[in-house]
Amino acid sequence: MANMPGLHPLAPILLALGSATLFAISIQVLHQGLRFTDSETGSLLQILATTICYWILAPWLLESWYWLTPAALLFAAVGLFKPSVSANASMLGVHYLGPTPTSTLAASSPLFAAAFGVMFLDERLTLPIIIGTFAIMAGSVTLAQNGRGQAQRAWPLWALGLPLLAAFVRASGDGVTKFAMAELPSPYFAGLVSFSVSSIVAVSVYGARHRTLPRLGVRYGTGWYFLAGTINAISVFCLNKALQLGELIVVVPIVSASPFITLLISMVFI
């Protein structure tokens, strides 16, 4: 799908870079909150904070007829699986395989995006896109191999599918979002619906496992989680806008470079 007329061709690339940068920053902020509570609670609060940010803007950006479009159902379907399924698959992958194999296999996300874009969105791979995609994947693999943590030497064969599932869900979720925005070009509404559904899923799973809701307050790091959620809301909007304006096969590899930005932030500021 071509860029919108009159739009600077670098706009989707800059938006994707902005999304990757903001996501990397949100990870660092989230890490600060993990000093006070566990990662599952932090993830839940971040999702809720992101959802709240979108609903705060509803009086200005939400049109009632949006809910009556088929795109709303597609956005909701994305929220059922992303980030709940992708995040849990990644965590299980780390549990069974260790962080290095999990991160290495997760670097396949741009490949799934390329397949989705070519098969369903009529996008075309060019040599620069192919080179750039594999360069980012190679860098992600190298970064994972140099990361901390030792992988288990023996694991069940089926466990190799966990990080691949996470990568597939992330890439296909972005693909479905782009497909739906062809009908309803609202990056805001895409984020609102998907994160609203994700919040329901996350709260339900958390409540079923813990039989209680997380504690809130300064002593529990709530401020860090809500700050991370706010940054994440902007990051997701930039991603959705990039998907609306650009091609999936270009946007997803750039956003997948977020680990490099996270590493740079860690080296400079932490």
Q: What is the pLDDT of residue 161?
A: 83
Q: What is the pLDDT of residue 251?
A: 95
Tell me how far apart the alpha carbons of residues 122 and 125 are, in angstroms, rounded to a whole number: 10
Q: What is the pLDDT of residue 149?
A: 47
- Domain ranges in the chain? 11-269
- Cβ 85 vs Cβ 229: under 8 Å: no
Report residue 141 as tokens.
């693999």
Q: What is the pLDDT of residue 133?
A: 74
In order, the DSSP letters of 182-251 are TTS--HHHHHHHHHHHHHHHHHHHHHHHHSSPPP-SGGGTHHHHHHHHHHHHHHHHHHHHHHHHS-HHHH
Tell me how far apart the alpha carbons of residues 257 and 17 are, in angstroms, rounded to a whole number: 8
The amino acid that residue 264 corresponds to is: L
Each residue's pLDDT, cut to its tens digit, for the chain (270 residues) gives 445 555 667 899 999 999 999 988 988 888 888 788 877 888 888 899 999 999 999 999 999 999 999 999 999 999 999 888 887 787 677 677 776 676 677 778 888 999 999 999 999 888 877 887 777 677 666 765 565 444 445 667 787 788 889 889 999 999 999 999 999 999 999 999 999 999 999 999 888 887 677 777 767 778 899 999 999 999 999 999 999 999 999 999 999 888 778 778 777 765
Tell me how far apart the alpha carbons of residues 172 and 30 are, in angstroms, rounded to a whole number: 25
Under DSSP, the state recorded for 4 is: P
Q: What is the pLDDT of residue 103?
A: 67
- Cβ 54 vs Cβ 194: under 8 Å: no
Q: What is the pLDDT of residue 159?
A: 79
In order, the DSSP letters of 115-126 are HHHHHHS-----
Q: Which residues contact 94 (CB under 8 A, 6 or more apart)?
A: 102
How many beta carbons lie within 10 A of that of residue 40, not counting itself?
17
Instruction: Find tokens 């959620």 and name the residue.
Output: 229
